[in-house]
């Protein structure tokens, strides 16, 4: 098995050259999925189709566990989970989002806060990709300030009655199970497992997306949706609990951005070697070498951020603010790499067959979700100054 699945011209500092064999195995498994994904993803992306075969292929390779300890499944180390997120996104951002939602958000929430019955009922099916899960937090009027969620849950006898709307929810309309986060009567926060066949659960796929086109996202409307009290996640009482899930996946977003950037850089480098202009290959032009060097500097810095996140998490010392800094930095610089790569390919850079335009578009979504760059800066700023400046 290759010791490092990145070429020396990509992993210039050898950051991933000393991996544990178990981490290498996970990385190679994700790379194998990526090769399969690239055969069909442009077609799926162009017509805006979620390919269930690709979703199940992730489950078949056990790539949904995202470092969560699940009985009967091998546990990924934090570094392995990061490399998997990186490698899936190196192939495609929609599939990276699928893995992040299914494993990083839905399965993590159930394993952290669900009852044993919840775990027994759903986790294995989710892990195998037999059912698709959704994470219903973001609302039409609350994205970055999700803490202000307006969806309500009112106890009525043996049921909770849910009312409100959720927006931008992956698999919210074409999945099987949605975790709905809602405000309780006492002001706290509750998480509720809602089968999508529940009466009055209405969801419509959001049309017109220019990015992440191979994963459906939806607007969910809840009007007097009744769910049994036993469907409430017993381990959740406040938004702080939800934030624990989000902080874990924020690291994954940083890794995903790195994967997108690597793909764009490697495509641009190969193009520059083979494309001839004015009688010589592009690589012989000074400006091209400068741009490639700058792209490599960004990728190297991103990789160092991500590797250190894994080190801190493995030691039990990763703070949410550190994940925020890495997420903000990596998505920002991945966008710069992608823009340079697209420009270097000229007109060919806008063709799906060359992949860069897909990565470039998907990075726009990555830069926004799990908190915008501004929000990440404010999270870090609050930590280093002791003063919140969110409003």
Banded model confidence at residue 136, pLDDT cuts 50, 70, 90: very high
Closest by Cα among 151, 109, 138, 141 to 126: 109
pLDDT tens across 339-369, in order?
999 999 999 999 999 999 999 999 999 998 8
pLDDT tens across 181-205, in order?
999 999 999 999 999 999 999 999 9
Q: Which one of 24, 139, 266, 370 is the catalytic residue?
A: 370
Mean pLDDT (whole number) for 63-76 = 90
Question: What is the bridge-based pairing of β-strands 177-184 and 152-156?
Answer: parallel
- CA 118 to each of CA 31, 109, 189: distance values in angstroms, whole numbers, following the listed order: 32, 11, 18
The predicted pLDDT at position 106 comes to 96
Domain 240-385 grouped into CATH 1.20.140.10: yes
The predicted pLDDT at position 377 comes to 87
Mean pLDDT (whole number) for 82-98 = 97
Q: For residue 2, is pLDDT > 60?
A: no
The predicted pLDDT at position 271 comes to 95
Banded model confidence at residue 252, pLDDT cuts 50, 70, 90: very high
Do 21-128 and 240-385 share a fold?
no
Question: b or e along 271-302 (b: 16 or more beta carbons within 10 Å of the residue's beta carbon)?
Answer: bbeeeeeeeeebeeeeebeebbeebbebbeeb
Average pLDDT, the chain: 93
The predicted pLDDT at position 146 comes to 63
Q: Where are the domains of the chain?
A: 21-128, 133-237, 240-385
- Report percent pLDDT > 90 for the chain: 84
Active site annotation includes 230: no
Domain 21-128 grouped into CATH 1.10.540.10: yes
Q: Round to whole Å and give the CA distance between 289 and 92.
A: 27
Mean pLDDT (whole number) for 136-165 = 89
Domain 133-237 grouped into CATH 2.40.110.10: yes
The predicted pLDDT at position 145 comes to 65
Mean pLDDT (whole number) for 372-377 = 85
Lowest mean pLDDT: which of 141-145, 200-204, 220-224, 353-357? 141-145
Q: For residue 94, is pLDDT > 80?
A: yes
Q: Round to whole Å and give the CA distance between 232 and 189.
A: 11
Q: For residue 3, is pLDDT > 80?
A: no
The predicted pLDDT at position 63 comes to 96
Q: Round to whole Å and give the CA distance between 344 and 267.
A: 10
Q: Tell me phi and psi for residue 246, to 5 degrees.
A: -65, -40
The predicted pLDDT at position 1 comes to 44
Give the H/E segment covering residue 280. strand 280-281
Banded model confidence at residue 144, pLDDT cuts 50, 70, 90: low
Q: For residue 311, is pLDDT > 90?
A: yes
């Amino acid at each position: 098995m290759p010791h490092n699945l990145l070429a020396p011209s990509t992993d210039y500092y050898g950051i991933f050259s000393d991996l544990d064999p178990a981490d290498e195995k996970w990385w190679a498994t994700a790379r194998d999925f990526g090769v399969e994904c690239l055969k069909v993803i442009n077609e799926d992306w162009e017509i805006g189709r979620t390919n269930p075969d690709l979703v199940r292929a992730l489950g078949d390779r056990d790539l949904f566990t995202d470092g969560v300890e699940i009985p009967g499944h091998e546990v990924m180390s934090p570094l392995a989970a990061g490399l998997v997120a990186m490698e899936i996104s190196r192939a495609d951002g929609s599939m990276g989002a699928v893995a992040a939602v299914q494993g990083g958000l839905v399965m993590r929430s159930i394993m952290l806060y669900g009852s044993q019955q919840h775990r027994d009922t759903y986790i294995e099916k989710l892990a195998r990709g037999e059912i698709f899960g959704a994470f219903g937090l973001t609302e039409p009027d609350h994205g970055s300030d999700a803490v202000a969620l307006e969806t309500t849950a009112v106890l009525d006898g043996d049921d909770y009655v849910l009312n409100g709307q959720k927006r931008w929810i992956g698999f919210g309309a074409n999945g099987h199970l949605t975790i709905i986060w809602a405000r309780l009567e006492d002001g706290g926060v509750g998480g509720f497992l809602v089968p999508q066949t529940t009466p009055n659960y209405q969801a419509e796929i959001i049309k017109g997306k220019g990015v992440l086109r191979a994963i459906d996202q939806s607007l969910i409307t809840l009007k007097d949706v009744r769910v049994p009290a036993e469907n409430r996640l017993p381990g959740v009482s406040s938004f702080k609990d939800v934030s624990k899930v989000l902080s874990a996946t924020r690291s994954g977003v940083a890794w995903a951005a790195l994967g997108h950037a690597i793909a764009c850089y490697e495509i641009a480098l190969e193009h520059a070697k083979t494309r001839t202009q004015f009688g010589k290959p592009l690589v012989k032009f000074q400006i091209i070498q400068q741009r490639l060097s700058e792209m490599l500097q960004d990728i190297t810095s991103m990789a160092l951020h991500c590797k250190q996140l894994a080190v801190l998490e493995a030691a039990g010392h990763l703070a949410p603010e550190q994940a925020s800094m890495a997420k903000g930095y990596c998505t920002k610089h991945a966008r710069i790499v992608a823009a340079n790569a697209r420009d270097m390919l000229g007109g060919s850079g806008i063709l799906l067959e060359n992949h860069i335009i897909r990565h470039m578009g998907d990075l726009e979504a990555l830069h926004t979700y799990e908190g915008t760059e501004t929000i990440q800066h404010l999270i870090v700023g609050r930590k280093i100054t002791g003063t919140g400046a969110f409003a």
